[in-house]
Structure 1
């Protein structure tokens, strides 16, 4: 590929990454948006730097290539910070972030001072291990994250991470290309790596931009211990309040109902409510609420001539796709089939 081609690709990247930085700056002050904004700025600055430095003579100089690539690797932990904030919101501390970044500052400095390629090799190896490690960690943590969501939310649109699994598969391919790009000076490999990264980040930014912050809902609240008699009274009183909320007030018809909402209405905290659903009712908050929504929808399907889409909204579901999925899970058939069978009778 001619040098003008790589300039064009880098120009696209500069425009995209700085545009995304602006979007996430406008999105809000939550940590995830700030991490993505910072990541986009750093990648954008690196692309601008490359636009001025990339030329034919640079690619013929191995040491200069190594130094430039080693400096670029300061961005690697920022990728991990975004993954961590998605899967374990609020878990990262300032000290942890400094420790993560330290090797990616120290090794380039040693490379520049000594001119020894061994430091570059160490950094590339560590970045590869670090990247693969956090990608695998993310795949392991996602199911746990979804389990916590079901304990606190009655919906999962714009908060689940199902999309991230597909992105991570692409990430492994891009990481492999990046490793080759670090070791082999080749414009074609560089171009494929940059274009692949750009395409993946288009999808990632789209999903992250839609992603709602869940940190307040997933933060644990300490429980004040009580004796057995007091605890029994609390459970009895809580059971009465929850039954009234769900069976009389029908709070489950709120499509954005959260555990904290029920806790506030019942005059208690999220921990007690969570224990009530998981221990005393044997179901997560998500399953408990959606089972009631499905039962309500079944009655409407039998008695109403409204469309299935309308019934889904009336029953507390905020998307038709979720309605079909949850309905099939509890009833073993689609809403349309359920209506047809019951109308026939």
Structure 2
């Protein structure tokens, strides 16, 4: 019964990956999206893996013969392909063909060495995995061990790199956007877990290829993981500003300013930001980006980002959300609003974002704020840590 279930899950997986690969490929060709192209390659590779399992795994000779470990090598090749896709998400535009080739070549060479060595061996059927290893030529177990060790080392390298650049990516989001809807990849925190899952499962497959229970577990978990990834990537769009942040590293350095020039520029920028925020109330635009505000102030995003971080002590998004929260509290002092209406009037793109920002700024929910005596007081100017002029006037 377990074997029948495994065969059924194998067929379901094959159809899922085939349909998903077709859809993502069409989407990638229409939108010219690098992450979608890489994800389409990953899905196409999984189609090959599932087709291999569908036609070979249930042949009794497949379980314990010289070629059996070699059949699993393509499974481990999923690890570098997935990591390249994850790298592209957290480092948009940085993954080149040469970089990818350096990561993939050891997998190809070790798999090729095992395949070449196994061609000289008869297709003997063994009773156990240990007996198979004992009868292999001396170099084949070494190649198999090197392949697994490289996969483990590669995954550790990928995990560290993904975590580090995910943190940097999140920081860049706060520097460039005043909103998080559809651009803040909270699901990125699970990418390392996905790679770890595949590392453990594939190494386990090498050692426990005859366990139907283990095989069924891997099929079920794999379908869940890939379905979640598929849903996330179909909703994902690479933020243009974030892509530009990576490109700026190769730009020529700007000439140094004297302390007097820098002080004068900051004073002018302070007045421009005060006018854009206090008079024109740009923070009420849910889609406001740092480029929009920089254009309004007649500067560039680099200088404006430095101004927020160095002079105001907070990134762009935190400052704009602080202005929005201050505006929302003034609205609550004058009238009673539904939370959904209040979030929209204050410039938030969603109620969830409003709740999160309000709790971070005030230490309580909007409902709790409305229920306290503080809602009857006017608290002008205390939210500005840089002694700017009052930037958020009362609602008209």
Kindly provide the CA deviation profile for residues 219-253 of structure 1, in whole angstroms up to 9, marking residues without a partner as x. 35345224324433432332222222111111111
Alignment partner, residue 24 of structure 1: 24
Counterpart secondary structure, 2:77? helix
Equivalent residues of 2:86, 2:191 under 8 A apart? no
Instruction: Tell me: CA distance 1:125–1:194, structure 2 relative to 1, closer, same or farther (3 Å).
Output: farther
Pick the aligned partner of 2:237 from 171, 194, 212: 212
Alignment pair present for 1:74 and 2:82: no
The CA distance in 2 between the partners of 1:227 and 1:146, in whole Å, is 30
The match for 1:47 is 50
Partner of 1:104: 107
- How does 1:223-302 map onto structure 2 within 5 Å? 223-228=253-258, 229-302=260-333
Which region of structure 1 is more displaced relative to structure 2, 135-144 or 112-121? 135-144
- Residues 1:175 and 2:199 are matched in the alignment: yes
Structure 1 spans left out of the alignment, 5+ residues: none
Verify the 8 A CA contact 2:266 2:307 in the aligned structure 1. Answer: yes
Distance in 2, Cα, partners of 1:316 & 1:249 = 13
Once residues 278 and 63 of structure 2 are traced to their aligned partners in structure 1, the CA distance between those partners, rounded to angstroms, is 74
In the aligned structure 1, how far is the partner of 2:317 from the partner of 2:32?
28
SS in 1 for 2:184: coil
Name the residue aligned to 1:14.
Answer: 14
TM superposition shift of 1:137: 3.4
Residues 247 and 18 (structure 1 numbering): CA distance in 2 closer, same or farther, change over 3 Å?
farther
The TM-score normalised by the length of structure 2 is 0.80
Asked if 2 retains the 8 angstrom alpha-carbon contact of 1:110 and 1:119, the reply is: yes
CA distance in 2, matches of 1:225, 1:158: 37
Counterpart Cα distance in 1 of 2:200 and 2:274: 54
Worse-matched range after superposition: 174-183 or 193-202: 174-183
The TM-score with structure 1 as length reference comes to 0.91
Structure 2 counterpart SS, 1:310: helix
Aligned to 1:196: 221
Residues matched between the structures, number = 345
Cα 1:132–1:196, aligned 2, differ >3 Å: closer, same or farther? farther
- Residue 174 of structure 1 deviates from its aligned partner by 4.4
Q: For residue 313 of structure 1, report the CA deviation from its aligned partner.
A: 1.3
CA distance in 2, matches of 1:95, 1:167: 23
Structure with the higher fraction of residues in helix conformation: 1
Larger radius of gyration: 2
Query: 1:87–1:142: 8 Å Cα contact kept in structure 2?
Result: yes
Q: Are 1:328 and 2:362 counterparts? A: no
Indicate which of 342, 351, 354 corresponds to 1:311: 342
